[in-house]
Amino acid sequence: MKLETLNEVFFENIKNSNDNFVKHFHDTYIIGITHDGMFKSINQNRATLLYKNSTRVLNPGEIHCGDSNSWKYTNFYPPLELISEIYEQIYFEKALPCFTKHILEDINLYNLLLKFFISAYSNEDKLEIESNLIIAVSYLIKNYTDSTKKYSPLFDDKKIIKDSVEFMKDCLDTNISLDDLALNSNLSKYHFLRVFKNSIGITPHQFILSQRVQKARELIVKGEQLNQVASTVGFSDQSHFIKNFKRIYGYVPSELKNKDNFIIYK
């Protein structure tokens, strides 16, 4: 089983988090394990406590936040293409698995993911890394997939939301107004706000902040200078950028320079 889409996947290994995370979402899945401490995970407005040796799985587009206490964890952010590819190679069907239960108390799954993370961070042979990934994610898919949906980019099935999301992503470096968004969607400001929040779960302002921060992370890990990134993604000053970055990721942008904690699979 050969994978084509593992390149550029982001990993983070956090040794001690005591932060509050604001509501946001990612275009990717999030799969992570807790080594120690505690995290109060709020996903789709459902709160669950997770402790040592547990696994956390979030579907793309799910709104989540939470509070951490001496939380030690490792995450990675596999794109839709990667998870769909593994699913297809198991079941010979192009689809996206959906996981209803996002906190999993399964020591076998924890150990499989731990082995994968250790091999990735140790920069072992690609065959070893990708084999460990396939074994761990296949186990997750086979045991915890509750339903599937047709493979398509996030929000592709909601035209107004899809068009608005594309418009916002194209204009992250500008001062987008509610008038601009409403005009782009051919709705009044009131109806646009209602439709957007009901569909996604956060306001357009929260969405834009989240997308700016995620774009900033991509630029930083690719080597761009911190003093340039903030303005590139539309933040007016460094302090505003740093504050919002930490509220979503739990660490400040400068920490991404620590290659021991953050890697991108090449």
Residue 1, pLDDT score: 58
Residue 166 belongs to what domain range? 159-253
Task: Give me the number of domains the chain comprises.
Answer: 2
Nearest by Cα to 217 from 233, 231, 204: 233
* DSSP category for residue 256: G
Q: How far is CA 83 from CA 28, 96, 125, 145, 150, in A?
A: 9, 7, 21, 12, 13
What is the model's pLDDT at position 2?
Answer: 62
* 258 within a domain of the structure (yes/no): no
Q: What is the pLDDT along the chain (266 residues), one digit of tens a residue?
A: 567 678 889 999 999 999 999 999 998 999 999 999 999 999 878 899 999 999 999 999 899 999 999 999 999 999 999 999 999 999 999 999 999 999 999 999 999 999 999 999 998 788 999 999 999 999 999 999 999 998 876 776 677 788 888 888 888 888 888 898 888 888 898 888 988 888 888 999 999 999 999 999 989 988 888 889 998 998 988 999 999 999 999 999 999 877 779 988 87
| Predicted local confidence at residue 62, as pLDDT | 92
pLDDT of residue 114: 98
SS3 163: helix
- Is 31 strand, coil or helix? strand
263 within some domain: no
**First vs last C-alpha separation in the chain:** 18
Residues 173 and 124 in one domain: no
State whether 193 and 134 are in the same domain: no
The last residue of one of the domains, among 132, 150, 168, is: 150
Would you say residue 225 lies in a domain?
Answer: yes
The reported pLDDT for the residue numbered 152 is 76
Regarding whether 172 and 117 lie in a shared domain, the answer is: no
Shared domain for 77 and 134, answered yes or no, is yes
Residue 207 DSSP class: H
The answer to whether residue 86 is domain-embedded is yes
Non-local (6+) Cβ contacts of 44 within 8 A are 62, 63, 64, 201
| CATH number for the domain harbouring residue 185 | 1.10.10.60
Please check whether residues 138 and 175 belong to one and the same domain: no
DSSP notation for 84-119: HHHHHHHHSS-EEEE-S--EE--HHHHHHHHHHHHH
- Same domain assignment for residues 203 and 143: no
The encoded tokens of residue 57 equal 């799985």
Do 132 and 19 share a structural domain? Answer: yes
Q: Classify residue 1: in a domain, yes or no.
A: no
Pick from 22, 6, 17: nearest CA to 244: 22
Cα dist. 80→27, 139, 162, 179, 193 in Å?
Answer: 8, 17, 16, 32, 27
Q: Determine contact, residues 153/122, Cβ cutoff 8 Å.
A: no
In a domain, 23, yes or no: yes
State residue 243's pLDDT score. 94
Neighbours of 156 (CB within 10 A): 12
Shared domain check, 137 and 211: no
Query: Do residues 107 and 146 both lie within one domain?
Result: yes
**pLDDT of 73-87, one tens digit each?**
999 999 999 999 999
Domain assignment present for residue 265? The answer is no
Q: Are residues 136 and 167 in the same domain?
A: no
Claim to verify: residue 63 and residue 98 sit in the same structural domain: yes
Question: Of the residues 118, 150, 182, which one is the last residue of a structural domain?
Answer: 150
Q: How far apart are CA 140 and CA 9, in angstroms?
A: 18
The label of the residue with tokens 């916002």 reads: 168
Which of 150, 181, 200 is the endpoint of a domain? 150
For 127, the 3-state DSSP assignment is: helix
Say if 16 falls within a structural domain.
Answer: yes
Q: Residue 117 and residue 232: Cα distance in Å, rounded? A: 32
The verdict on 125 and 38 lying in the same domain is yes
> Which pLDDT belongs to residue 122?
92
Q: What's the pLDDT score for residue 186? A: 87
Residue 18's domain is classified under what CATH number?
A: 2.60.120.10
